[in-house]
Amino acid sequence: MDLTSFVTSLGTYFGIFMGLMIVYAFLSWRAGNNVVYYPNKILKGLEPLEGKNKSCNPFIWMKVALLPSGVDTAVYFVFLNTVLSILVLSAVILLPVLLPVAVTDERVVKESLTSHYNQTVVDELQKLTMGNITEKSNRLWAFFVCCYWFSLVALGLLWKACKHVSCLRAQALMDPNNVKPEQFAVVVRDIPAVPLGETTTEEYVHSYFKAIYPDTYYKCMIVTDNRKVDSIEYYNDRINETVTKLEAEQKITQSKKQQNAALVFFTSRVVAASAAQSLHAQMVDTWSVSPAAEPRQLIWHNLTIKYFERELRKYLVHAIVALTIVFYMVPISFISAFTTLQNLVELAPFIEPVVRIKALRTVLEAYLPQLALIIFFYLLPKLLLYLSKLEGIPTQSQAVRAASGKYFYFPVVNVFLGVTLGGTLYRTFKLIEDNPKSLLSWLVMSLPDNATFFLTYLSLKFFVGYGLELSRLVPLILYHFKRKYICKTEAECKEAWAPGDLGYETRVSEDMLIVIIVFCYSVIAPLIIPFGVLYFGLGWLILRNQALNVYVPTFESNGRMWPHIHNRILASLILYQVTMLVYFGLQKFYYASLLIPLPILSFIYGFVCAKKFYPAFERPILEVAAYSMREAPDMELIFRSFIPPSLNSEKIDDENFEDSISKF
Amino acid sequence: MDLTSFVTSLGTYFGIFMGLMIVYAFLSWRAGNNVVYYPNKILKGLEPLEGKNKSCNPFIWMKVALLPSGVDTAVYFVFLNTVLSILVLSAVILLPVLLPVAVTDERVVKESLTSHYNQTVVDELQKLTMGNITEKSNRLWAFFVCCYWFSLVALGLLWKACKHVSCLRAQALMDPNNVKPEQFAVVVRDIPAVPLGETTTEEYVHSYFKAIYPDTYYKCMIVTDNRKVDSIEYYNDRINETVTKLEAEQKITQSKKQQNAALVFFTSRVVAASAAQSLHAQMVDTWSVSPAAEPRQLIWHNLTIKYFERELRKYLVHAIVALTIVFYMVPISFISAFTTLQNLVELAPFIEPVVRIKALRTVLEAYLPQLALIIFFYLLPKLLLYLSKLEGIPTQSQAVRAASGKYFYFPVVNVFLGVTLGGTLYRTFKLIEDNPKSLLSWLVMSLPDNATFFLTYLSLKFFVGYGLELSRLVPLILYHFKRKYICKTEAECKEAWAPGDLGYETRVSEDMLIVIIVFCYSVIAPLIIPFGVLYFGLGWLILRNQALNVYVPTFESNGRMWPHIHNRILASLILYQVTMLVYFGLQKFYYASLLIPLPILSFIYGFVCAKKFYPAFERPILEVAAYSMREAPDMELIFRSFIPPSLNSEKIDDENFEDSISKF
């Protein structure tokens, strides 16, 4: 890609961004769109334009968008912040040092003169990269030192972030004004079959825990197998059958429905925290106890899956995902090949008039093959979340983390490896034919070329991506469409504008792809750093606004996402260090091996972090749980908060549920 | 090895065994030797010959030797028992089926006729092995079925043993008559530097744990840095210096000597068990809490090693051991080459007269090169125990397990791989020169040859080895020598006959070598099974006697050795299954791949066991700790039992120690 086309696309993207900003300013100003642009505030009962100046300045959100809501959101901003700081702090050295050093050398010019292809085009952008440095040149020392600088800055700031997040989590869990009900409960799974002498699972659980915790045991709540019933159907049934008969029947089934899982409540946070991480039974696959999560994020039907079945499901799902990562292009290509315009017209003759329009036909023919890929990437997060829940994961937040971990590989394989390998292979196809051994060499030497592609990719991401994010055009259209044609009741209307949460499962993974790209090219093509700064800076501002005005967290895991994020940043750093090691080696720099301490240092850093910080994200900490509360907890309120909505609903009277609540 | 020489060595070993038995019968009958043959009984205050019939029958111990002492000893016998049962139960099928099937085929005879070397000698023993079966023969089905039988018997009995040991451990820990002081304590390491406002580590620990466990915290005991002082030296110092000055000085140093580790005592076993497995601090490398062990097996100076230093030490020690395993032959060969008789005479001229005796000279010249190896294998367990303690392991029993784990590789590498590879390579040297690709084929095909060697090796082990074990000739000679020439005080005399414990660190590893050998050859050369039965049967009887009369356990870990043992038996089983798979393949048996489910089954079995049983050996179990005691524990007695002997000794008055005992 030469300079002109690069500048052209940059300009185009910027134009789109400005357009979207104007659209946002215009639309968000209209009160009818408030439910799309300020759903968070509306749900909190705040005035949508509160905090906005009466001056109708649409960019006023930049000022107010500075307060995080919840630790999970805060952790996401710590992530953005940390990457941003790493890039800014390294740019201070890298840009003024490396760009002049690179541009004053002349390898690219020389090579384009001697090369037997492309003799006329000199890529101006490539002159600003490490690819322009002559082999074995002493100028490589500048890049070498910058390699160390970047790594040390990254490790230092990551360490600071780890401490900060660790502190945030502890503070949130200790907050005397916001005592969380889940801190008083533990989840008990794999309850053995009720022995002779006890009548119900409930009594069994009660006597078991009462014996171990005579002073602090409060109550237990057995998981029951409640069918989801449509209320209208339910009431019809109720009317049709004799009411009394039904109720008697229900009472019997209710106690039969008691499953092998329970929530156990304690009157002390320390005891609950300690119980959640202790082995209770000599046979470890029975009475397995784990920390409880917020009531809203418990996946009830997963609680009853047995120990070894969970293990089996986990391995099966991992195998399926691994196969999908490796082979996902196969079925997509297959489907693409079949979804030609010709076949579509045969299947659905009513689209024929559309196809007759020539301009449209050209566009469709061009984009149809990619349609399968687009649909695949749209459905993928949903599929992965579904698969993660199939594993038997007990909480929503953990399922989201698991899905995010799985999703991570797809953009990386698709974009990073796809472009780097694909682009390189294409360009060096002829050379490889002559000399197949130089594959690796050419692969790395053409990294600076790929950098230009990624500059464009990044600007697309932050101009068009964030523009769409802020202007919320798709949700806006969907909302107005639904309101006009679908919604009948008020509840359905509310559903139509429900904003959802930040969507960590895809967002973090996509940001992480940018982290990998920017880290890997930071020293090779330092020009990518300002683009990275723009991506994370703009992202920070726009997502602050969205977090405040739009998205509503569906759960709060108090920052348990952090080890997941931190590990992946560290992996990107190590990938960068190894890339640099290979790249310096291929530049025939004699001292390349002096870079070996860097990945070793990163591994040691990762090991220390994993030992020092991570366990506090996995398990409840006693010194935190022992922190004094403002007042004694209302145990009945805490217990009630865990009653599932389907049983707690005012539509159905409570008596059905009585049986599944401990009477003790 | 042909039949005659095999029978000859078998006869010789049996003769030695009978001789040693007569020696034992004669010596153990003499009262003067009681301290060598019945130290355990003497230390327990029992009459040595109690339980013995007045008939002076020396084999009467077979009847009494049926009561184990302690769970650790019991677990060792469960191990012997299980292997014995596996062998007996499989022998019932394998011997009557496989021996006739093998002996009626005639591959060995045919091959010796066509082979271009060793044409005259037909190995009679080899006719009884799978090596005598013609390639692709249907007779291989018999061996195939036996493979499955052996594996299933082994897995079934191992499962039973796991359950049994798990039960034994739980029972011992629940025993209301034998409440263990360590169940009320936890070890706290990595105590952070004392903050401003607290004066001593002790106060800091006290306030920290009192805040978390307001009701159940009892006291803490800070680890102090006490020099080991020889009592005579100590009293001399005391006389020389002014006594009062010294005491004042000591008091100050005592409180300065407080280290960053402590024992914390609780009034409840459940709380102690729960605390031992919970995270206490947000920064996980501080306040790390683990279960306490028996007072006598705490390695005090290891408690103060810091978190990451422990990790570092662990990796360093593992690296050193790995290098030793791979390269241990190098320095030994080097030393052997230098310790020729010539050199020795030059170094130590006084041995010259000995060397002049011709017969002795011949023997010495033959055995001197192996001397370094013998000394190495004598010193090795001590070295490994030393290295394991260097890792920073806090308890004696854990150090012994770690040493045993390391020791395991040496006999395996030395004997099993050495003989199998060495013997095979030697015999097939010429063939390999012609056709290097057939190395693997020949390696496995000559397994039946090696079986004959191992038959002899096993009989050496159980006849000579156990004969020496029972007759205790070496300890007897040492004791009488020491008593005559060295011992002066009664304490030193007692030291001279101190029997020590069973020595799990070497014993288990050496038994395990026999397990590997017998398992691997069980189907290939079923004749090895009776030898295995003799080894474990005789071992069972003789060690029962030794456990009852001789050895005194130096610690009791309530069977924590079991996962270690079980894992290694399972590894032997998988090694056997893989060997069989390869061996069947080389016999060109078409259905060899039908054996693949076996190692998979073993892996799944191992996985299930590791999940279901192992954690209960690692961590205290709450339902066990909650088991009611006969009477309320005397906390002061429990606390006192942990005071180290050097501080608790009656020679020194208690006041020195007052400072390191919590006053709260």
Of A580-589, B73-82, B437-446, the range with the lowest mean pLDDT is: B437-446
Answer whether residue A455 shows pLDDT above 80.
Answer: yes
- The pLDDT of residue A478 is 82
Burial A1-38 (b: 16+ CB within 10 A, else e): eeeeebeeebeebeeebeebbebbeebbeeeebbbbbb
- The pLDDT of residue A652 is 41
- The pLDDT of residue A231 is 54
**Cβ atoms of A204 and A194 closer than 8 Å:** yes
Q: What is the mean pLDDT of chain A?
A: 80
Tens of pLDDT, residue by residue over A334-351, are: 766 666 667 777 777 777
Query: Are B623 and A170 inside 8 Å of each other by CB?
Result: no
- The pLDDT of residue B664 is 43
And the tokens for B441?
């084929």
Average pLDDT of span B279-283: 91
And the tokens for B347?
């170094």
Answer whether residue A125 shows pLDDT above 50.
Answer: yes
Residues A64, A133: Cα–Cα separation, whole Å: 46
**Cβ atoms of B522 and B455 closer than 8 Å:** no
Average pLDDT of span B634-648: 78
Question: Could you say which DSSP state residue A194 is in?
Answer: P
Burial B489-515 (b: 16+ CB within 10 A, else e): eeeebeebbebebbebbbbbbbbbbbb
Q: What is the ipTM of this complex?
A: 0.81
- The pLDDT of residue A142 is 92
- Nearest Cα of chain A lies from the Cα of B566 at a distance, in angstroms, of 16
Average pLDDT of span A177-196: 88
- The pLDDT of residue A224 is 81
Query: Are B307 and A611 inside 8 Å of each other by CB?
Result: yes
Residues A61, A179: Cα–Cα separation, whole Å: 31
- Nearest Cα of chain A lies from the Cα of B184 at a distance, in angstroms, of 15
And the tokens for B22?
């007569």
Nearest to A622 among B280, B620, B622 (CB): B280
Q: Which residues contact A209 (CB under 8 A, 6 or more apart)?
A: A217, A220, A264
Q: What is the mean pLDDT of chain B?
A: 80
Of A258-272, A370-384, A502-516, B415-429, the range with the lowest mean pLDDT is: B415-429
Query: Are A273 and B270 inside 8 Å of each other by CB?
Result: no
Instruction: Name which CATH class applies to B181-293+634-658.
Output: alpha beta
**Cβ atoms of B512 and B572 closer than 8 Å:** yes
Residue A526, number of CB atoms within 10 A of its CB: 27
Average pLDDT of span A140-152: 93
Q: Which residue has the higher pLDDT, B594 or A247?
A: B594
3 state SS of B560: coil
- The pLDDT of residue A55 is 45
Nearest to B279 among A208, A280, A622 (CB): A622
- How far apart are the two ends of chain A, measured CA to CA in Å? 74
Average pLDDT of span B233-250: 60
Query: Are A274 and B273 inside 8 Å of each other by CB?
Result: no
User: Which of A148-162, B37-51, B346-360 shows the highest mean pLDDT?
Assistant: A148-162
* Residues of chain B contacting A, Cβ within 8 Å: 166-167, 170, 208, 211-213, 215, 270, 273-275, 277-285, 287, 307-308, 311, 607-608, 611-616, 619-624, 626
Average pLDDT of span B655-662: 44
Predicted structure pTM score: 0.83
* Residues of chain A contacting B, Cβ within 8 Å: 166-167, 169-170, 208, 211-213, 215, 270, 273-275, 277-285, 287, 307-308, 311, 607-608, 611-616, 619-624, 626
- Nearest Cα of chain A lies from the Cα of B175 at a distance, in angstroms, of 15
Q: Which residues contact B354 (CB under 8 A, 6 or more apart)?
A: B360
Nearest partner of B226 among B663, B636, B643, judged by Cα: B643
Residue A653: pLDDT band (50, 70, 90) is very low
Q: In chain B, which residues have their Cβ closer than 8 Å to the Cβ of A280?
A: 621-623
Answer whether residue B500 shows pLDDT above 80.
Answer: no
Answer whether residue A215 shows pLDDT above 70.
Answer: yes
Residue-by-residue DSSP string for B605-640: HHHHHHHHTTHHHHS-BHHHHTSPPSS---HHHHHH
And the tokens for A335?
């489907």
Tens of pLDDT, residue by residue over B190-208, are: 999 888 777 788 889 999 9
Of A211-220, A502-511, A607-616, B154-163, the range with the lowest mean pLDDT is: A502-511
Structure-token match 């692969």, residue found? A443
Alpha carbons within 13 angstroms on the beta-carbon side of residue A189 total 22
Answer whether residue B24 shows pLDDT above 50.
Answer: yes
Answer whether residue A658 shows pLDDT above 50.
Answer: no
**Cβ atoms of B216 and B271 closer than 8 Å:** yes
Q: In chain B, which residues have their Cβ closer than 8 Å to the Cβ of A290?
A: none
- The pLDDT of residue B89 is 95
Burial A144-159 (b: 16+ CB within 10 A, else e): bebbbbbbebbbebbe
Tell me the C-alpha to C-alpha distance, in Å, between residue B564 and each of A368, B406, B414, B569. 60, 11, 21, 9
- The pLDDT of residue A66 is 46
Residues B275, B265: Cα–Cα separation, whole Å: 11
Q: Which residue has the higher pLDDT, A275 or A350?
A: A275
Nearest CA in chain A to B617: A282
Of A649-658, B180-189, B234-243, the range with the lowest mean pLDDT is: A649-658
Residue B553: pLDDT band (50, 70, 90) is confident
Q: What percent of chain A has pLDDT over 90?
A: 28
Q: Which residue has the higher pLDDT, B450 or A54?
A: B450
Answer whether residue A120 shows pLDDT above 50.
Answer: no
Answer whether residue B583 shows pLDDT above 80.
Answer: yes
Structure-token match 């139509």, residue found? A496
Phi, psi of A247 (to 5 degrees): -65, -40
Q: In chain B, which residues have their Cβ closer than 8 Å to the Cβ of A612?
A: 283-285
Residues B650, B491: Cα–Cα separation, whole Å: 16
Ordered strands of the A185-189 beta sheet: A217-224, A258-266, A185-189, A288-291
- The pLDDT of residue B48 is 62
Residues B311, A644: Cα–Cα separation, whole Å: 45
Residue-by-residue DSSP string for A380-419: HHHHHHHHHHHTT-SBHHHHHHHHHHHHTHHHIIIIIIHH
Mutate one of B280, B282, B310, B558 to test the A interface: name it (highest A CB count within 10 A): B282
Residue B228, number of CB atoms within 10 A of its CB: 5
Residue type at position B498 = A
Residues A34, A82: Cα–Cα separation, whole Å: 32
Q: In chain B, which residues have their Cβ closer than 8 Å to the Cβ of A610?
A: none
Residue B1: pLDDT band (50, 70, 90) is low
Tens of pLDDT, residue by residue over A59-72, are: 555 555 444 578 88
Residues A366, A351: Cα–Cα separation, whole Å: 17
Tens of pLDDT, residue by residue over B642-651, are: 887 655 544 4
- Nearest Cα of chain A lies from the Cα of B657 at a distance, in angstroms, of 30
Nearest to B275 among A274, A607, A614 (CB): A274
Query: Are A285 and B623 inside 8 Å of each other by CB?
Result: no
**Cβ atoms of A307 and A190 closer than 8 Å:** yes
Tens of pLDDT, residue by residue over A3-45, are: 777 888 888 889 999 999 888 888 888 877 787 888 877 777 7
Answer whether residue B626 shows pLDDT above 50.
Answer: yes
Domain assignments of chain A as residue spans, ordered by start: 3-178+402-624, 181-293+634-658, 310-391
- The pLDDT of residue A189 is 92
User: Which of A241-245, A347-351, B29-33 shows the highest mean pLDDT?
Assistant: B29-33
Answer whether residue A253 shows pLDDT above 70.
Answer: no
Answer whether residue B595 shows pLDDT above 80.
Answer: yes
* E-only strand ranges, A128-266: 185-189, 217-224, 258-266
Tens of pLDDT, residue by residue over B505-528, are: 788 888 998 998 899 889 988 999
3 state SS of A557: coil
* β-pairing verdict for A258-266 and A185-189: antiparallel
Query: Are B283 and A613 inside 8 Å of each other by CB?
Result: yes
CA angle, residues B641, B643, B645, in degrees to nearest 5: 100
Tens of pLDDT, residue by residue over B384-429, are: 999 999 999 999 889 999 999 898 888 777 776 666 666 655 555 5
Q: What percent of chain B has pLDDT over 70?
A: 79
- The pLDDT of residue A390 is 92
